[in-house]
Structure 1
C-alpha cells in the first residue's frame, strides 16, 4: 500500500506530540518563522523530500529536518539528504565511534548527553543526525523508527 504524504505527515505529527513538541530546540515546521522556513526551503526538493514536518536543532546550530519522504541534515559544514525508505539502521553514534574491541558502557546518565545518532542506509553509507541532547534526540530517534517502519 502506497502511503500518501498527508498520511505520513499526520503520523509524524502524531508521534512528535507524544514527545511534547515543540521544545526549546525542536519544532513543527509549520510553526517556524517565515525567515527560518525560507532558509530551509532552499534545501527542500519537494518532489523528492515530500512535505517538511519536524525541525530539530541544537545549541551548536546543527540541524535535522524531517520531511514526509526524506531527512535533510546540516552539520555546519555540509548538508546531506537521506530518503527515509532507504534507511536500514539507526544506532547511537557513541557505539558507532567505539573501537570494535572496546565495550561501551551505556549508563542512563550518559544517554542524557547524547546529541547525535547514526543512520545507515541500504548501501551501507553512514550519516550523523543532530538534535538537542537527551529527550529531543530520543524523540527524533523514535519518530524515525516509526517512519522507517511505515515504509516497510
Structure 2
C-alpha cells in the first residue's frame, strides 16, 4: 500500500490541504476543466508521471504538475520532468544557499519574491520548477519535501 499510486495520491492531497491548497493558482488536477486536462494529458503523453494530482500555475504561462510518479514543469507546451526517486537536491529561488553555485548574500534574498524551485537530479541535470510567488511556492516545497521523505523511506 505504501508504494501504491493511491497512497501517494492521498498523501499529496493531504499535504496540499495542510498547506491551504487548492488556492488561487493551485488546483487538484481532477477538479480542473476538462479541456485543460486534455491539454496537459497531450503535453505529457510521452512521460509516465503517474496520476496527475496537483497543478500549480506560475507566472507567464508557466505551470507545474505533481503526479504520483513524477513532477513536470514548463511553459506553454515545452517542459521537463523528473521522477520522484531521481530528485537529489532542491532549493527555493535563485539558489540562496549555494547548493548549485556560489551562495547569495542572504540579506539580498527575499523569500516573498521567489517563484521557482531549482532541482538537481541524481544524474546531475538541473531543472526549474515553476510556481506563484509567496505561500503557494512554499506549499509546493513542503509537498516536495514529503515526496522526498516517502521516496527515501521506500528506498531503504
TM more than 0.5: yes
- Counterparts in 2 of 1:31-110, with a 5 A limit? 31-45=31-45, 48-76=48-76, 78-95=78-95, 100=102, 103-105=105-107, 110=110
Please tell me whether residue 9 in structure 1 is matched to residue 48 in structure 2. Answer: no
Change (3 A) 1:6 1:103: same
1:66-85: per-residue Cα shift (whole Å, max 9, x none)? 00010111134731111111
Aligned-residue Cα RMSD (Å) equals 2.3
Which 5+ residue runs of structure 1 have no aligned equivalent?
A: none
Q: Which consecutive residues of structure 2, in runs of 5 or more, have no partner in the other structure?
A: none
In the alignment of these two chains, the number of paired residues is: 150
TM-score when scaled to structure 1? 0.88
TM value normalised by structure 2:
0.86
* Structure 1 Cα separation of the partners of residues 93 and 103 of structure 2: 16
Aligned to 2:147: 147
1:27-73 deviations in Å (ceiling 9; x for gaps): 00011000110111113349821110000012311000000010111
